[in-house]
Structure formats: structure tokens, C-alpha cells
Chain A
Amino acid sequence: MAPADLSLHDRFGAIHRRRLMIISAMVLALFLSLGLDLAAGPAGIDIGDIVGGILDPQSLALRYRIILWEVRLPDALIALAVGAALGLAGIETQTILDNPLASPFTLGVSSAAVLGASLAIVLVPVLPFLPEAAILPVMALLFALGSGILILLIVRWSGGARETVVLFGIALVFLCNALTAGLQYLASAEAVQQIVFWTIGNLTRAGWLEVGLVTACFMIILPFSLRQVWIMTLLRGGEAHARSMGINVARLRMWVILRISVLAAFAVCFVGAIGFIGLVGPHIARLLLGEDHRLLVPGSAICGALILSLASFLSKALVPGVIIPVGILTAVVGVPVFLGLLAGRRKTI
């Protein structure tokens, strides 16, 4: 390739088209992974029956129809929705705080959710009139949103200084962890076991309602993120330049952190604290797609969904008849992919 005689318009266009191809391949991989995830499980339904059963539920035997529609589809779809929400929240956190180590979890959102869930687990046996199935996600959601409000207050108070936001987020993580530990210290052995199980993260609790809520949250927030892709891209050039162009970075930071908090709160409240995706999903997307947020924002959501979907497949396929909690597997799937991409990138430089 001798690009010197081509105009910048053509060369930049070629890069953009190559990235569009990559993102199309990622979407394709997502569909494949969804198929694998739906086909995995002890009931032994083959992939043809699954496709047929989705297109025409009546074609399946009742037993298989229930397994597909009531168990596997909600589990597989919540993996996509939660993964996409965490991937989107992750890229927005890293860009708005200009910090590659930041993720929704470093802001304390998930630790607060764990604290809320733990409180629910400990309180339910004491207050038997509370409906157990509903109180746990509701408490997790309320605490997660509460931590988001605290962070927003800090952003306002500090005038949007990003170091203060990161430091406060980490302090909040420690505080929530300490309070959760205190609860575990007081709780019964059974409750402690439940808390630990919730903390690991597990997709099998989700039904259609949960799928709908997380998907709706993602779909409502995504257009706001997409509207700001140009500003987010130029923000990667540094805050000083954005400010000198008349962009109110402090106000932008408020809005973005509000979006991140809501996304992360809805993502973790039903399935538990599935970490890692919000951190590494954006990095994988960045290695594949570069910094142009037009593609990086949707790409990061796709990456998050793909990692969690593959982890969900593995959680059923690794040990036949056993479902390993998916939170254990996200890092196991994500780290090799990430390291592979990093190694590939080193060779090309």
C-alpha cells in the first residue's frame, strides 16, 4: 500500500470502512455466541430445534418449549443486556474521567449494590412480611442509585475535578465493603453463603421482566450517549482543549456520570456484581476500533455483551450438568482475549 498519493479523505475513509467491517464481524460473533449459549445445557436440545422453537414456539414439545422460553432465552438475553450496559458504562467512565483504570465499579456502584443486597438477605428472615424475590433487587438498585447520587454531589461540589471523583469512588467502595463485611459478621452462616453467592454474579435468577428492564434502561440511555460521541472523542485530546472550545466539561461530566450510575445500577441489581466487563470490554473495543467514539461506544457495548454471552455459554458447557456462576468466568474469558489483542498490537508497532 502506498497511501502517500491518496488524499486524507480517502485514507481516513478507508480506515473508517475497515472499522465498520470489524464492528460487523463483532455483531456476527455476538449472534454465534447467542446461539451457542442457547444450545448449551443439560436438556440436549439441538441448535436446529432452538432456531425452530424461537421462530415457531408451537413446533417444540412442551417440555422443550418451557426450557427454551422460560430458562434459556431469559438467561441468554440478560447476558447480552447486562454485558452491553456494562460495556457502555465502562467506555463512558474511562473517557469522562480520562482514566484507563476506571470502570463503573470503581465509582462504588456495584459495592453499594452488594451492600443493598446483603442488607436485604439479612433483613428478610427478620422481617418475614417482605416479599423476598422482589426486595433483593430493589434494595440493590436503590443502594446503587444512591451511590450514584453521592458521586454526583461530589462532582458538583468539586466543580467536576476528575481526580476527586475517582478518589471518592474508591473511598465509597471501601466503605460499602466494610459495611457488607460488618453485616456478614453479624449474619447467620446461611445468609453469609447467600451474600457470597450474590456477590459472585449469576445470570440464572433473571426472567423476562428483568430482561425487559435492563434492555429498556440500555435502550433509553444509548441514544444520549450516541448524541455526544463527537464531544467524547475530542475529550480524548484533553480537557484543556475541550474547555477552550466553550464545552462545559463539568456539566458534561455530571450528565455522563448520571448515565453511568443508572446503567450500572440496573445491570448489577438483578444478576449480582459481575465485575471486569466494564473495565476490559472498552479496552478490547479500543484495540479493535480505535478512539473514534462513533464506533467505540457501540463497539464497547457489543464487546461487553459478547464477553458475558461467551462466559454464560462456558458456565453451562465447562462442567456438564453444573452451572458455574458466570461472575467467576467473565475474567477467565476476557483476560485471554485481551492479552491476545495486546500481543497482536505489539507486533504491528
Chain B
Amino acid sequence: MTIFSATGISASYGRTRILHDVDLPELHDDEVLGLLGPNASGKSTLMRCLTGEKTHHGRIVLDGSDRDEMDVSAWHRRVATMPQTPPNPSVLMPTELMWSTARALDLDFSDRELADRIEDIFNRLGLDEFALSPLHVLSGGKRQLVGLALALLRDPDVLLLDEPTSALDLHWRMVVLDLVRERLTERGGVVIAALHDLDLAARYCDRIVLLEAGQIVASGTPGEVLTPDNLARVYHVETSVSRDEQGQPVVQVIRPIRSGKQVAR
């Protein structure tokens, strides 16, 4: 059973305050939280605070333990991040990257177990034929999948995904998010994903937090958050929101809203 909460998160770069006292809803097993918001809304900074890369104020609590009181390596064994940038296109092979990660993090696998685990993850992500190819022959999308494979290697209880589908085509977007969902059903845990795509968010997230300029504008179920008013306020677009068979919102963007005030922002 995993319970994750982050409250009162504030962070700055130099003197510029990026996040203002952000409270995320408490997440329980099997839940997916989507972070939505335009560019520079603070999504990535919030993700970096959650991983522990960025110093910040506020409390992050996993199963009753405050992160500040937890051992760093114990934290990183339970919480894994897939950063926005895919692994560099070097001569390194995906298998070597996975292998060195497991050994650098002191994951408790024998060589045989580790190889089998890497092979299993690569099979699920369709990377099996590239396991021993240099990363530079892989497309950007495939490298992004290697990034996800790296996060899955630790079998984390909390999976943080920073725009996990930005380099992927339609097919792989759905494969990745289906896989993340399936994994939750199989083993529990929680997922927090920063997303750009509103329809993917509506389809895969249980809760959504909508950010603007480092503050929460709306928080709740996709149906509660993805309303034409909220989207007009945050993204400055006119939308029409309908419902699909499951009752989830489907967003159709009609046109950008041009007003003197908003263009100036």
C-alpha cells in the first residue's frame, strides 16, 4: 500500500519564485495524477522538487515517512523518475545503460536476474531488438522509451514521468500509458505525470492538477478540471468539451483567444 503526498511546495531559481505553495492531492495505490499547464507553468520544476533534485520548501511524505528524514538511496529505490530528455545518442548500448544504473544504485540482482529483468522490460517496450545497439542509432522516440525502461528498472512504488510521450508517435503514446496503467493494476503504486496532451490526460489520469505560473488553478477529476473556462484561463484557447462513452471529457480546441491583455502576458 503506497500513500504519497506533497504539500506546501515552493521553489525559486535565484530570486525568481517558480512555485508558490503548491499542495498536491494525497495519492493512494493505483492512482495516476496528471500535471497540466502551459509552458513555464512550473510543471517541470515541480517534478524536480518531487524527485529531490531541486531544493524547495514543503513536505513530501511517502507512506508516513518524511523524505527529509529518509536515506537518499532508499528514497531513490522507491521513487523513480523518467526525465523529459531522452538518454544521449552515444555509443552506449541500452543494456549497458540499464546495467550500470542497476549496479550504481546497488540494486540487489544477480547478473542473471538483472539480464532477465532488462530483457523483460525491453520486450514490453518493444526495445528488444535494440538492446545491444548503440543509442545513437535509435530514434528519439525509442530513446525516450529507454528512459522509461531506466525508471522501471527499480520497480518503483512511485513513478514520476516528465512529459513521457513528447517524442512518441500516437501508437507508442498509448502503449506507454497502457503499460503504466497495467503495472499499477498488477503491483500497486502511484504515478505522477506531467503531460501536454489534454486528451491523454483525460483518458489515463484519475486526478488532474492544472498549474499556471506556479500556482494551482484547478484540481480534481478530469471532468472537473478540463472545463472550457479553466482551459481558456490557463491556455488562452477557446475549446468545446464533450464526453466519450465512459463519460471522460474530450477536448476540441477551436481557436486561440486573442485579447490585448493575454497577448501581452
Residues of A participating in the B interface, judged by any CB pair closer than 8 Å: 7-9, 11-12, 15, 98, 229-231, 233-234, 236-238, 240-241, 243-247, 286, 290-293
Contact = CB atoms under 8 A, between A and B. Distances in A.
A8 B133 CA distance: 12
Interface in B142-177: 147, 150-151
A199 to B, nearest CB: 34
B100 A292 contact: yes
Contacts of B96: 233, 290-292
A240 B84 contact: yes
18 contacts: A8-B116, A8-B118, A8-B131, A9-B116, A12-B95, A12-B132, A230-B103, A233-B96, A233-B104, A234-B104, A238-B86, A238-B88, A240-B85, A241-B83, A243-B83, A244-B80, A245-B101, A290-B91
B119 interface: yes
B116 A236 contact: no
Contact of B83 (A15, A233, A244, A247): A244
A229 B115 CA distance: 19
Dominant SS at the B interface? helix
Given A241-B87, A245-B101, A291-B91, A7 B72 contact: no
A9 B147 CA distance: 21
B150 A243 contact: no
Contacts of A246: 51-52, 72-73, 75-76
A1 to B, nearest CB: 12
Interface in B80-119: 80-88, 90-93, 95-97, 99-101, 103-105, 111-112, 115-116, 118-119
A286 B91 contact: yes
B92 A7 contact: no
A245 B91 contact: no
Given A233-B100, A240-B83, A8 B76 contact: no
B150 A241 contact: yes
Interface of B: 51-53, 72-73, 75-76, 80-88, 90-93, 95-97, 99-101, 103-105, 111-112, 115-116, 118-119, 122, 131-132, 135, 147, 150-151
A11 B147 CA distance: 22
Counting from the closest, the 6 A-B pairs by CB-CB distance are: A9-B115, A233-B100, A230-B104, A246-B76, A237-B87, A244-B81
Contacts, number: 101
B102 to A, nearest CB: 9
Contacts of A240: 83-85
Contacts of A247: 104
A287 to B, nearest CB: 9
Given A291-B92, A292-B96, A237 B105 contact: no
Given A243-B53, A290-B93, A292-B100, A238 B132 contact: no
A7 B93 CA distance: 16
Contacts of B93: 290-291
A7 B115 CA distance: 8
Given A8-B116, A243-B53, A244-B51, A237 B135 contact: yes
Given A15-B132, A241-B87, A234 B101 contact: yes
Contacts of B116: 7-9
Contacts of B87: 237-238, 241
Contacts of B99: 12, 233
Nearest to B79: A246
A244 B160 CA distance: 10
Given A233-B96, A236-B90, A237-B135, 4 more contacts: A11-B132, A230-B103, A231-B100, A234-B97
A290 B93 CA distance: 9
